[in-house]
Amino acid sequence: MRILIVEDDAVLRDGLKVGLAISGFTADAVESCEEANAVLKNHAFDALVLDLMLPDGSGLDVLKSMRERRDDTPVLLLTARDGVADRIAGLDTGADDYLGKPFDLDEVAARLRALVRRAGGRSRTVLEWRHLRLDPSAQLVERGGEPVRLSRREYSILHVLMAHPGRVLSKRQIEEKLYGWQEEVESNAVEVHIHHLRSKLGPGLIETVRGIGYRLGEEA
């Protein structure tokens, strides 16, 4: 899950980035409206954490221009402690949620999970497919009731696949969900993780579509 943080305060920004990473997200960060606009035009994120007060303008303007170009990426606004007016304005501009400062990192993560889930048209957090269960809030995977130990990368890949069961995802798409800008990968890492996933989950689950990518297959 790829998140963009727009926040000028360095302490908050880094805190968010690390906190979200612990919760299993991949977070990139920028610190101004201008940067945010530039980046958003070229990259897709699963969600946005957007501060309202930025050095070169209001986060609302970023939000507004996103919505004007039909970018429906879910947005979580960060507002002042009691800015009710801001919040209402934000929601009506097209924000999906807000959080007053100071905030709890776990709560940010939970709200992001809810946003992403809702954007995907799902109402349940727990993903299920065949005899697999994946619980994002606990970062837990079960296979037929038995817990399976997955590393972070393995978990992330399975998460992406289970979010779109049946759909083919290219290695490129998977990489984009796993890696931020500073950590682009130049190898067959995804293939290797897929290999490990298969050996842990059993065969017949993750199908290869040659030349295209991977998907969770329809049947045994």
Partner DNA sequence: ATCAGGCTTAAGGCAGACTTAAGGATGGCA
Partner DNA sequence: TGCCATCCTTAAGTCTGCCTTAAGCCTGAT
By the 10 Å C-beta count (0-12 exposed, 13-18 middle, 19+ buried), 218 is classed as exposed
Cis peptide before 102 (omega within 30 of 0): yes
**Which of 42, 55, 69, 121 contacts a copy of itself by CB under 8 A?**
121
- Residues 157-176 interacting with a copy of itself (rule: CB under 8 A): 166-168
Which residue stretch of 56-64, 97-105, 159-167, 179-187 sits at the interface with DNA (rule: CB under 7 A)?
Answer: 179-187
10 Cβ neighbours under 8 A, 6+ residues apart: 31
Does the protein bind a copy of itself through residue 122 (CB under 8 A)? Answer: yes
Does the protein bind DNA through residue 42 (CB under 7 A)? Answer: no
Q: Compute φ and ψ for 89, nearest 5 degrees.
A: -60, -45
**Considering all CA atoms of the chain, what is the largest pairwise distance in Å, rounded to the nearest integer?**
55
Q: Give the single-character DSSP code of 7.
A: -
Please work out the total of residues on this chain that contact a copy of itself, with binding judged by CB under 8 A: 43
In the numeric block, which tokens belong to residue 89?
């304005």
Report the residue number, 3 or 194, with the smaller CB distance to DNA: 194
Does the protein bind a copy of itself through residue 137 (CB under 8 A)? Answer: yes
Report the distance separating Cα 90 and Cα 2, nearest Å: 22
Nearest-approach distance from CB 192 to DNA, in angstroms: 4
Which residue stretch of 75-83, 122-130, 160-168, 186-194 sits at the interface with DNA (rule: CB under 7 A)?
Answer: 186-194
Q: Pattern of binders to a copy of itself over 58-87, x per CB under 8 A?
A: ---------x----x-----------x--x
